[in-house]
Amino acid sequence: MRAYFSLGSNQGDRAQYLTLGVHRVRGDDVHRVSRVYQTDPVGGVAQDDFWNLVLEVATPATPRDLLARIHDAEAAARRTREVRWGPRTLDVDILWIDGVTCDETDLTVPHPRMYQRRFVLAPLRELRPDLVSAQDLRRADGRVHLLGTLETLHYTERHPRGWNGEPL
């Protein structure tokens, strides 16, 4: 089955935290990664912009196993949860798992707010255009700017040059 995760970071070396997240969440499973988007923070807390991407993983893992991978990745990034929707080194959410629905206290699949958030839909549309229509993307809240691939951003994050992302 294929599972899709949203990864975001707005503290420290964002490219490094996203890379850590991709490797921890995918484990040894086959994967694809969207490009990275710079996005406005959601939730009203004053903070820096996020870098977001979507990770696709082909895996036999259960939703609970995938949730454990998320917790491992966030712990490895030293994520703290002091303020709801506050700044984060790494934030990972399960968006979608093919053929799976789940509605538990700590795990809801599909993600209940994914169609409201442009920072989720823009990178998800790259990997699964059948899940996100152009109209879905237009209706979603937030501004997103395409930054590039995670690999190219490792250099950019360490050597800022006033790069101006492509708005969507």
Active site residues: 79, 88, 91, 93
If residue 39 lies in a helix (H) or strand (E), which one and from where to where? strand 36-39
Contacts of residue 163, defined as CB under 8 A and 6 or more positions apart, other chains included, come to 147, 156
- Cα–chain center distance at 18: 8
Q: Exposed, middle or buried by CB within 10 Å (0-12, 13-18, 19+), for 84?
A: exposed
Contacts of residue 41, defined as CB under 8 A and 6 or more positions apart, other chains included, come to 10, 47, 48, 49, 50, 85, 87
Please say whether the beta carbons of 114 and 141 come within 8 A: no
